[in-house]
Amino acid sequence: MGPLFSQGIIGEELNMFIGFLIGILFGFGLESGGFANTRKLAGVFYGYDFVVLKVFFTAALTAAIGLFLLDRYQIMDINLTFYPKTFWLPTLIGGLIMAFGFIIGGFCPGTSLCAASTGKIDGMVFVGGVFLGIIGYAFTSATLWEGLKNKGALGKVDIATALGLSDGLFILLVTIVAVIAFVVVTKIEAHMKAKHDYQL
């Protein structure tokens, strides 16, 4: 049956409207999870607040389990959903650039929009920076980035298949790792909070 849009079951207008509604839910979830607070986001890297890690993995795994089940019950064809191709080298290098952006800027793009729209000046400045970065990239893409961007092309790679596991087993293993991580980080957070006085 699904996904609805890529099979022509719904038109572009309805697709955009549903996207808008889901976007509202996403923004609501991000803000209520504390993702508009840069101190909370940075806390993941310094051990004083792990809410972001918990919310992030819960969301990613809920989506993975949900899509896996919908695919198995033949309600949704996972191959017709947004399935990114892997270009391992530019993704690795781009990811490391984003890591610097995260530690220095204290947001990622989605969370900065939440912060900016709820009145955080640092969020607004960050959003401005993202635009500048994208424009800067666009102006230098032909000279600086084009060769690198298409290196390491592997096509659509399923990580479970690449590891020789079934999709279900892989998702189960990641879920187990996440649950163990939640318990461990909760202990780290309690320890760090007892030792230091961090203001959020």
User: 23 to 82, contacts with another protein by CB under 8 A?
Assistant: 23-32, 36-39, 42, 44-46, 48, 56, 59-61, 63-64, 67-68, 78, 81-82
For residue 71, what are its two tokens?
A: 């695919």
In whole angstroms, what is the distance from residue 111 CA to residue 106 CA? 9
In whole angstroms, what is the distance from residue 183 CA to residue 47 CA? 13
Report the residue number, 104 or 183, with the smaller CB distance to another protein: 104
How many residues bind to another protein according to rule CB under 8 A? Answer: 102
For residue 2, list its beta bridge partners: 76
> 101 to 130, contacts with another protein by CB under 8 A?
101-123, 125-130
From 9, 148, 180, 184, residue interacting with another protein (rule: CB under 8 A):
148
In whole angstroms, what is the distance from residue 154 CA to residue 147 CA? 16
**Residue 19 found at the interface with another protein (CB under 8 A):** no
Non-local (6+) Cβ contacts of 194 within 8 A are none
From 14, 69, 137, 177, residue interacting with another protein (rule: CB under 8 A):
137
**Residue 199 found at the interface with another protein (CB under 8 A):** yes
**Residue 5 found at the interface with another protein (CB under 8 A):** no
**Residue 87 found at the interface with another protein (CB under 8 A):** yes
Q: What is the nearest approach in angstroms of another protein to the Cβ of residue 41?
A: 9
User: How far is C-alpha 171 from the chain's CA centre?
Assistant: 17
- Per-residue binder mask for another protein (CB under 8 A), 150-189, x = binder: ----x-xxxxx-x----x--xx--x---------------
In whole angstroms, what is the distance from residue 144 CA to residue 137 CA? 9
In whole angstroms, what is the distance from residue 77 CA to residue 73 CA? 10
